[in-house]
Amino acid sequence: MVTRWGLSDRLGPLAYGEEEGEVFLGRSVTTHKNVSDDTAHAIDEEIRAFIDRNYERAEKILNENMDKLHVMAEALIKYETIDKEQISDIMAGKSVRPPADWTDSGSDSDSDSGSAVEAEDTAAKPSKPGSGSIGGPASQH
C-alpha cells in the first residue's frame, strides 16, 4: 500500500520499487535495491505507523462491540456457519436465529445428555438423504 500504490501522506503518491524477478531463480535471489537508505528507512517507518494505527483501530472496534463479538462466537459454535442475515441481526442487536436451511435433529446442543454412540450414529446418517449440505448441523455431515 505504501510502496506500490503510494498510500502514504509522508511519502506521497509515488510508487517505490519495481516488479522484478527472474523466472528461474526466484525473487529473493534477484532483489535489486531501487531506493536510497533514507527512503527505505522512511518506507519502513511509514509501514510500521500504518500497521500500528490500524491494529489500534481494529482493537478499538472489537472492544466497542465485545457483546456482538461474543454473540457471533456463540452462534458460530452452535451453527458452525452464519449467514449475512444472521450477521445483520447480530449487528442490529437482534437475537440470533438459526440459518435458513438449519434443521435441528431434536438434540439440544447446550446439554450433555446422550451417549457418544448416539452422536456417532447421528453423524454417520443424515436425517434426510442428501441433506448433509454444508452449513447444516455437524451431525448431518
Alpha carbons 24 and 6: distance in angstroms, whole number: 30
Q: Where are the domains of the chain?
A: 101-141
Tell me which DSSP letter residue 119 carries. H
The pLDDT of residue 24: 59
In 41-51, which positions are buried (b, 16+ CB within 10 angstroms) versus exposed (e)? Answer: ebbeebeeeee
- Work out the burial of residue 73: count CB atoms within 10 Å of its CB; fewer than 13 is exposed, 13-18 middle, 19 or more buried: exposed
Alpha carbons 41 and 43: distance in angstroms, whole number: 5
The pLDDT of residue 62: 94
The pLDDT of residue 52: 95
**Look-up: residue for cell 522512511?**
42
The pLDDT of residue 138: 63
Sign of CA dihedral 117, 119, 120, 126: positive
The pLDDT of residue 60: 97
The pLDDT of residue 140: 61
The mean pLDDT values, 10 residues at a time, for the chain of 141 residues are: 77 70 55 74 89 95 94 92 90 87 60 41 46 59 58
